[in-house]
Amino acid sequence: MKVAIISNDDVKIKAISRAFEEFFSEKCEVKAVANPSEVSKQPINDEIFNVALTRVCETEEMIKDDFKCDYIVSAESGIIERSHIFFNFQVICIWNCNRPMFAFGISSGLPIQAKYSNEIKETSANEVMDKLFEGKEVVSYLSKGIFSREKMLYDATIMALTHFNWE
């Protein structure tokens, strides 16, 4: 199985690859693909999903002659606001090249304290968290090592892949 992952981020590539291999019980050939997006510094709510889908569509066209793959995956992080509470989470969009259809999966969300919401809207969650936690892996740090960004990406990928089993 061949999987194109729209990222050069080692954590994203590792988590997504592992999810595919465990879900399908087979090794996959992975190609990291750079595809800069027209995304705001801090995507919020539906923008995260729109960017993920746009990247997948653009990448399919971009690599169609270069890398014949079975799946194309985009991983986007962003902020969702519900009832005046902000959560940082991961969105995965997967395009199944063999059965033209796409699927989305989301991770659990890291709650963000209200006192940081305006600063995050004006800059980005990454900037605010890097400043507060001095570059530590925030999810792992705040969950006392129980959870991680990699696990969030893995879980979101598995949830997206379940969509293809509905038929």
Distances (CA, A) of 128 to 75, 87, 118, 138, 151: 21, 14, 10, 11, 21
- Are residues 106 and 91 in contact, defined by beta-carbon separation less than 8 angstroms? yes
Using the predicted structure, report yes or no on whether residue 107 has a pLDDT greater than 90.
yes
Q: Is residue 45 part of a domain?
A: yes
Is residue 136 a part of any domain in this protein? no
Q: Is residue 29 part of a domain?
A: yes
Residue 130 in domain: no
Task: Indicate which CATH number applies to the domain containing 56.
Answer: 3.90.950.10
* pTM (predicted TM-score): 0.93
Compute the mean pLDDT over every residue in the chain, rounded to the nearest whole number.
Answer: 93
The structure tokens listed for 67 are 């890398």
3-class DSSP state for residue 135?
A: coil
> Is residue 99 one of the residues assigned to a domain?
yes
* Per-residue CA distances from 25 to 1, 28, 151 (Å): 11, 9, 18
- The total number of structural domains in the chain stands at 1
How far, in Å, CA of 152 to CA of 146, rounded? 11
Tokens of 98: 């063999």
Structural domain boundaries enclosing 66: 2-81+89-111+149-165
**Interhelix angle 149-162/10-24, nearest 10 degrees:** 40
Residue 124 lies in a domain: no
What is the pLDDT at residue 93?
Answer: 98
Domain assignment present for residue 26? The answer is: yes
d(CA 116, CA 68): 44
| Assigned domain for 137 exists | no
Q: Is the model's pLDDT at 38 over the cut of 80?
A: no
Q: What is the mean pLDDT of residues 29-45?
A: 85
Q: What is the pLDDT of residue 92?
A: 98
Q: What's the average model confidence in pLDDT over 147-165?
A: 97
User: Which residues, including other chains, have CB under 8 Å from residue 143's CB and lie 6 or more apart?
Assistant: none
Alpha-carbon gap, residue 48 to 45, rounded angstroms: 6
What pLDDT does residue 35 have?
81
